Structure formats: C-alpha cells, structure tokens
Amino acid sequence: MEAAIKLTSQSQGRDRIFRATQYACALSAFLLRNNPERKELVAKLKSLEANMSAGRKLFRLGNTANSIEAAKRTMQLSDRVLCLCLTAANINRALYFICDNVLWARSVGLIRSVDKERWSINATRFYLFSLVMNLSRDVYVILQLMVKRARDKQFKQKMDQHFSESPDVAEAVIPQLDAFLFVLLKTLKSHPAVALDTLKNVCDLFIPLEKLGIYQSNAGVVGFCGLVSSVIGILTLTQPAFRI
C-alpha cells in the first residue's frame, strides 16, 4: 500500500500508470477488434486510450527542464562512452518533450498555426534517437560486465564445468557462441536492473519504429510492447533496486 501511495503521489508515477492503461487499452482493443459483440467495448477502449494519451501530455509539461538538467549531469561523467550516450539521450529526450508540449498546446487551442503532422514526426524521431542512445548505453554496460565476469577465476571454472557437463551442446553449437551466450545469460541474471532496462528500451523501440514506418507491425504488437515497458517502468519506480 505504501508503494502504491508513493507511486501515485509522483507525477512520473501517475504518467506511468496512465501509460500502462493507455497501452493496455490499445492491446485489448486490438484483440477484440474482430468480435462483433464487442464493438461498443472496443469503442470505449479506444476512447479511454485517447484520454490517457492526452492526460500524459499534461504530466510531461515540466519534463523538458528535467531532461536538460539530466544532460548537464551526464556531461560530467568520467566514462566517455557513458557521457556520450546518456548526454545525447537526454538532449534528444528534451527535444522530444518540446515537440510534445507544442502538440499539447495545439490540442488545447493555445497555438493554432502549427503543422501537427510535422511536429509529431519530429517528436517521434527525437524519441527514437533517445531510445537508440539508451540502448547503446545498455549494450556498453552489459559488455563491460561480461568482460569483468569472464575474467573472474571462479566463473571460468563454472563455465568449464558447463561445457564438460554438456558435450553435445558444445559440439552442436559454435563453442565461442555458446560461451558468449553463457556469459551473457549469467551476466543478465546477476544484474536484473540492466536486464530490465534493456528489455524496456527494446520494447519501447517498436513504438517510434511503427509510427515512422521503419518497421511495420500492428497495433497489437505496439500495445503489448508499450504495456510491458510501462510495467517495467512502474516496477523500477517502486523498487529502486531494479533501476539501472
């Protein structure tokens, strides 16, 4: 109960609840779209999805400043790769929020002489660039952890034991690939925060790819991926141990 109260008391927490509801509605509407007896329910779900999307834009009005401050902090990182990835991600995220704020202002009638389609495409591009840089950070962190683990003597013994206990696998699969996958899986298992962040960014990636027409999927895939990433976002917000 305390975690739920803490979650709903934060604007970021309410945004993630709205986001999870939005994509849950999108997924449900897609699954029920061919059921003639559920047409009214599908219409209600689509209406609720649109309302959740509009509500989220209101919660994000102050996020531009937060992203700029985050970019200033990441510029001080000593690791050049992390500095580049995170700073670029935060700058693109700030640009995304600027476009998003303009679209919100147009939707409520504060601004009228705005090309909605153009600003929406630009917002999606900035969102995509931000996700790509965050994923690059995840890959970099995972590789660093894998190298560190592979150099550990105790882990080398476990890996040798794994190959000795599974000779058929070692013969069927390229040994180097099997070793790589073994180290990767063990690394992700021992660092759930990195694994969850990577999964979240991969799921989110389908949303801008679909909107930009780079990768054509369907509303069901987008709804499912958005729901999974939203649930992970809620989990990392309520459980700081799972936050990278």
- Report pLDDT for 149: 84
Band of residue 125 on the pLDDT scale cut at 50, 70, 90:
very high
Q: How many helices (H) and strands (E) does the chain have?
A: 11, 0
Smallest Cα–Cα separation from 141: which of 190, 204, 72? 190
C-alpha distances in angstroms, 71 versus 77, 79, 85, 140? Answer: 10, 14, 10, 19
At 80, list the tokens: 């050049």
Q: What is the mean pLDDT of residues 15-35?
A: 92
Residue type, 171: E
pLDDT above 60 for 89? yes
Least confident span in 36-45, 94-103, 235-244: 235-244
- Report pLDDT for 172: 46
**Percent of the residues in the chain that have a pLDDT greater than 70, as a whole number:** 86
At which residue do the structure tokens 């935060």 appear?
90
244 in Cβ contact with 197 (< 8 Å):
yes
- Report pLDDT for 32: 93
Residues in the chain: 244
112 in Cβ contact with 106 (< 8 Å):
yes
- Report pLDDT for 130: 97
For residue range 108-124, what is the model confidence (pLDDT) as tens digits? 778 888 888 999 999 99
DSSP per position, 159-178: HHHHHHH-HHHHHHS-HHHH
Smallest Cα–Cα separation from 201: which of 226, 181, 237, 236? 226
202 or 183, greater pLDDT: 202
Q: What is the mean pLDDT of residues 158-172?
A: 59
- Report pLDDT for 108: 79
C-alpha distances in angstroms, 212 versus 205, 215, 231? Answer: 11, 8, 24
Q: What is the mean pLDDT of residues 222-243?
A: 91
- Report pLDDT for 94: 95
Q: What is the mean pLDDT of residues 163-187?
A: 67
For residue range 29-82, what is the model confidence (pLDDT) as tens digits? 999 988 888 889 999 999 999 889 888 887 787 788 889 999 999 999 999 999
Break the chain down into helix, strand, coil percent, rounded to 5: 85, 0, 15
- Report pLDDT for 2: 60
